[in-house]
Amino acid sequence: MRKGSIIQLAAIATVAAAICIAVALAIPWMPTAAGKEAQRIDFVFWFTTAIAIAVFSAVVSVITYSVWKFRARPDDDSDGPPIHGHTTLEIVWTAIPAVLVTAISIVSAIVLAQNSNAGSDPVKVGVLARQFAWSFTYSNGKTLGYLEVPVNRKVQLDITSDDVIHSFWVPQLAQKQDAVPGQHNKLVITPIKIGTFPVICTELCGLGHSLMRSHIDIVSQAQFASFLKSGGSTTGPPGLAVFQHNGCASCHTLKDANATGTIGPDLDKLKQYAAQAHRGSLAAFIKESIVSPGAYVQSGYQNIMPATFGQQLSAKQLSDLVQYLAEQAK
Ligand code: CUA
């Protein structure tokens, strides 16, 4: 092969690589990583992308060079040369991809092992998914409709579901884990960036799937320590604990519970709703709305509240919740 053709091939490959690298870097393909696991996953992504760009550029340069140099002239009607393979070339183009794919699998295996290592003392949080809300329970029994975790500490999530299959996902933490009824799936996160990020259900789970969202607050370790200490599930009226444990806050607004959900009716307006609904006393209206939410749907909202709370809540929990909501409405 002439030296000149090698230079031409290299030039084409360089141009192709430069275009690919510019596209790869100019577009923000992925959210900013807020966890160590996400950084490792991003590394695997870029490692694979670099290999893909190198292979693509080499192939493009050979194809472009061949089309340019070896194309048939307009008056050339002769047959092409009888080519019967080239053993060395075939070994080379089999061996190089084999090495690259093996490298990707080794890097992936290392990252997978690191990302599932919870260390010796992780913060443990139970994650319960149900149509269509998340609830998060800490080892001291504190339960909330959103997730709060300390920065720079390993957190082990124990994810399960009450009804159908859901999936836990925080884009900035890069990992997804299914929430399966009867199964406890683990997910390790190591937050590195203080801030608030969305928690998204990423498994089609019913009519309210697209609305099944919460958020994760990544806070300083000191702030997390005082968060854990302040108010377990035992403070406040019993109905408030029922409200918090069942993820009501992810869909409803209720000032007393610091709930700001906007998917379902605003529970601070229950009195006004009851007056419009004509479904008996305030307490009867609230109870009916929890047990058979489809019986009366407040205008401006969709009929997507799960009809399962009647079975999930004990009679005591239900009456506590009704009493609590009725008191807030007065
Ligand atoms: Cu839960 Cu989609």
Q: For position 87, what pLDDT does the model report?
A: 92
pLDDT in tens, 259-269: 888 888 999 99
How sure is the predictor about 235, in pLDDT bands with cuts at 50, 70 and 90?
low
Is the Cβ atom of 209 under 6 angstroms away from ligand 1? yes
Taking residue 112's Cβ as centre, other Cβ atoms within 10 Å add up to 14
Task: Locate the ligand 1 atom nearest the alpha carbon of residue 208 and give its number.
Answer: 2
Expressed in angstroms and rounded, the spacing between residue 125 Cα and the centre of ligand 1 is 19
The response to whether residue 166 sits with its C-beta less than 6 Å from ligand 1 reads yes
Kind of pairing between the strands at 147-150 and 213-219: parallel
Cα 44 from Cα 89, distance rounded (Å): 29
Q: Alpha helix (H) ranges present in 220-330?
A: 221-229, 238-245, 270-277, 282-291, 309-312, 315-329
3-state secondary structure of 261: coil
Ligand 1 atom with the shortest distance to the CA of 132: 1
Task: Give percent of the chain above pLDDT 90.
Answer: 55
At residue 103's C-alpha, the angle toward residues 100 and 106, to 5°, is: 155
Write down the mean pLDDT value for the chain. 90
The secondary structure of residue 122, as a DSSP letter, is P
* Geometric angle at alpha carbon 31, from 57 and 46, rounded to 5°: 30
Distance CA 153, CA 219 (A): 11
Nearest residue (CA) to ligand 1, atom 1? 166
The CA distance from 59 to 65, in Å, is 10
**Terminal C-alpha separation, the chain:** 90
The pLDDT score that the predictor gives to residue 131 is 84
Rounded average pLDDT over 148-167: 95
**If you measure from the C-alpha of residue 260 to the centroid of ligand 1, how many angstroms do you get, rounded to a whole number?**
20
212 lines ligand 1 (CB under 6 A): yes
Residue 204 alpha carbon to ligand 1 centre in Å: 5
Task: Please tell me the predicted confidence (pLDDT) of residue 85.
Answer: 85
267 Cα–ligand 1 center, Å: 23
Residue 114 is predicted with a pLDDT of 96
pLDDT, residue 232, reads: 54
pLDDT per position as a tens digit, 309-327 = 887 788 888 999 999 998 8
169 strand-pairing partners:
176, 200
Res 249: pLDDT = 79
Task: Name, in order, each residue with C-beta under 8 angstroms of 5's C-beta and a sequence gap of 6 or more.
Answer: 65, 69
pLDDT the model gives residue 13 = 95
Residue 266 three-state SS: coil
Query: According to the model, what pLDDT value does residue 50 have?
Result: 96
For 151, which DSSP code? T
pLDDT of residue 192: 96
Token pair for 191: 């937050």
Rounded CA-CA distance 318/238 in Å is 10
For the cut 90, the answer to whether the pLDDT of residue 247 exceeds it is: no
Position 219 pLDDT exceeds 90: yes
| Distance from residue 206's CA to the centre of ligand 1 (Å) | 7
Residue 6 has pLDDT above 60, yes or no: yes
Residue 166 CA: nearest ligand 1 atom is: 1
